[in-house]
Structure 1
């Protein structure tokens, strides 16, 4: 009994020490950007390995794929995990958190940030760096020049907002667009699984159309309107920050419109086949 109590006490002591270490170093403000990026990269590696292991044992379709298709399968598992996480965090900070609310008068909205918002952005930077590395490693199998441009712009903008603490609200507005990523990945999974003519494929196409319209078209319009209303605050940012607020969203919006045209064309084609 005494040995058990001593063991429990020792475990609690280690837990307390670990908690202090995490609080004072890992999650201390000066270290959050670095630890969050590393944590994001490690999480991506873990997600890739888990996708490979689980799919090998539980998916017949996975084992029938080519080597590069299996790589893309696992890579899309990473992007789905990141998309779910960052979409939830972005929706919270943009629409529910008081941090960026106009009712909050504690400083300019363009300079507001917190440990949690910085941590979330750092994890996202870790993902974009990991995905960029994967795209370059398997180029052009996992994506062509447009993917390199998209991920590079996103990584630079998110990293700047994380390190400098500027424009985080607009960064989260843009990152809400990741809500469309899981549906894009599901479409690819259905395609390689031989279900391109199924009802699930058609339903997925409709969901992609509306989610893209809301998250990547209308929401971008809302962001541009918000920038217009807070133009004076945006111009008080560093020059690099102001440029990123204006240039990156415009470039991404153009790409989103181009992809939306392809989505609309594909949806029409599939619906006509059903009729």
Structure 2
């Protein structure tokens, strides 16, 4: 693999990774301070629940930033447009480099916390997810290849705020609130679009541009052939759990409504 970097990258890459780590630390502290002042339930949480509460704060911020930047670069900027001459697999920008660096900083920080408190903040599936994500992002960043595909995978982080809000409402004892139901429906739709349908498009795009994909260095090629399919399988597994949870919630609400009418 040829490392695709110059003087600008030598500054941009480490700076963006550091920015990702600092972002996590800053948002963690802000979440802790704001939650203690604004949410009565926060002080009643256990130390581990408070830690996870704050952890989910910076994961939400990263998810929003990653999804927004990925959507802009892939869908709006025209960087990966088919109408532009040049090989799509080789296209990149300073913004995609920066986003990858920030994401590496985030995944590194989150992974460190997961390992330190293992398995309280997440089990083996989270280690696998974060490890594969960092591996794929690092390959794309260092080689300058396949930025479009990594951005598409990063866009799946758009579902994270819904997952985190569900957890917040759960520990706050608000599972009976309408917001819990609406968030669950939004999470279902978001997951279906961003983590199921998007991956179908991803694999279709890889297939239709296979002549470009196979031109990547061996490690990158096999990365594209293995990492996204693995993440896709994990997404389907989690989507199945989401569907089951939504069915249970809707069934309980239907039963509650029926009992109310009977009374």
- What TM-score range do you get, normalising by the shorter chain? over 0.9
Name 2:145's counterpart in structure 1: 166
Name 2:121's counterpart in structure 1: 142
Is residue 78 from structure 1 mapped to residue 54 from structure 2 by the alignment? no
Name 1:272's counterpart in structure 2: 251
Is residue 113 from structure 1 mapped to residue 87 from structure 2 by the alignment? no
Indicate the RMSD between aligned Cα atoms, in angstroms. 1.0
Q: Which structure would you say has the larger RCO, counting Cα contacts within 8 Å and 6 or more residues apart?
A: 2
Residue 183 of structure 1: how far off its partner (Å)? 0.4
- What is the CA–CA distance in structure 2 between the aligned matches of 1:44 and 1:211, rounded to whole Å? 24
Structure 2 matches for 1:1-275, cutoff 5 A?
28-105=8-85, 107-275=86-254
Report how many aligned residue pairs link the two structures: 248
Residue 65 of structure 1: how far off its partner (Å)? 0.3
1:249-274 CA distance string (max 9 Å, x none): 10000000000111001100000111
Q: What TM-score, normalized by structure 1, do the two folds share?
A: 0.88
1:47-89 CA distance string (max 9 Å, x none): 1111111112222111110000000000000100000000000
User: Where in structure 1 are there 5+ consecutive unaligned residues?
Assistant: 1-26
Residue 28 of structure 1: how far off its partner (Å)? 2.4
- Structure 1 runs of 4+ with >2 Å offset: 27-30
Is 1:41–1:130's contact at 8 Å kept on the other side of the alignment? Answer: yes
- What is the CA–CA distance in structure 1 between the aligned matches of 2:201 and 2:62, rounded to whole Å? 23
- What is the CA–CA distance in structure 2 between the aligned matches of 1:94 and 1:250, rounded to whole Å? 20
Q: Which has the larger radius of gyration?
A: 1
Q: What TM-score, normalized by structure 2, do the two folds share?
A: 0.92
